[in-house]
A and B are shown apart, each in its own frame.
Chain A
Amino acid sequence: NAGVTQTPKFQVLKTGQSMTLQCAQDMNHEYMSWYRQDPGMGLRLIHYSVGAGITDQGEVPNGYNVSRSTTEDFPLRLLSAAPSQTSVYFCASRTTSAAYEQYFGPGTRLTVT
């Protein structure tokens, strides 16, 4: 199993550009989520999904869009990049059964200039 994979590993965008961060998992997990990590802020939940076709907002959803057309994939779209979105982005997945760990991808480091 590859676990949770994320692409790209690094990305530089100009203000106003859009892009999609890719996340895929091969563990047949129903639950997938996106976090951003900023220095001193820990991880903050952006969006999450409990299954194909079902998504919901987390703590900091503004400026981001998600969709879940398959169990395996959960892309995160930046609609119009802003410098405040400079961060490290992590995707995670787990089963929806109670009390199970989340598996994290290696992260995407995004810089918006």
Chain B
Amino acid sequence: SQQGEEDPQALSIQEGENATMNCSYKTSINNLQWYRQNSGRGLVHLILIRSNEREKHSGRLRVTLDTSKKSSSLLITASRAADTASYFCATDATSGTYKYIFGTGTRLKVLA
């Protein structure tokens, strides 16, 4: 079964608005990563947050992690049409292994 589940499954916003997507996972983790996938392409790493961190920023991206609720959120501020993509969270499935398990993704559409 999938380790991570994102919601919403799909999100449509206007350019300039903020986009928030959430990820919930089932077991303890060492870190959580967010990836972007443009249509028909491979995944690109966006940001990583360790289990002992609560918030991290990278440019227009802000990621939070709540290990007590086993959840993370990705906020994209001032969205652009180029942000249109699918976004996935990935967690290391079992502490101490190298396996990363991906969630089902959020499809973001930014309207110009």
Contact = CB atoms under 8 A, between A and B. Distances in A.
Nearest to A95: B98
Given A90-B42, A104-B42, A99 B30 contact: yes
Contacts of A99: 30-31, 48, 50
B104 interface: yes
Interface residues of A, number: 27
Contacts of A44: 2, 102
A64 interface: no
Interface in B30-53: 30-31, 33, 35, 40-45, 48, 50
Interface residues of B, number: 24
Nearest to B2: A42
B30 A102 contact: no
B101 interface: yes
A79 to B, nearest CB: 22
A31 B42 contact: no
B43 A104 contact: yes
A44 to B, nearest CB: 8
Given A103-B45, A104-B42, 19 more contacts: A35-B102, A41-B104, A42-B104, A44-B102, A45-B100, A45-B101, A48-B98, A59-B101, A92-B43, A98-B30, A99-B31, A101-B33, A101-B48, A102-B33, A104-B44, A106-B41, A107-B40, A107-B41, A107-B42
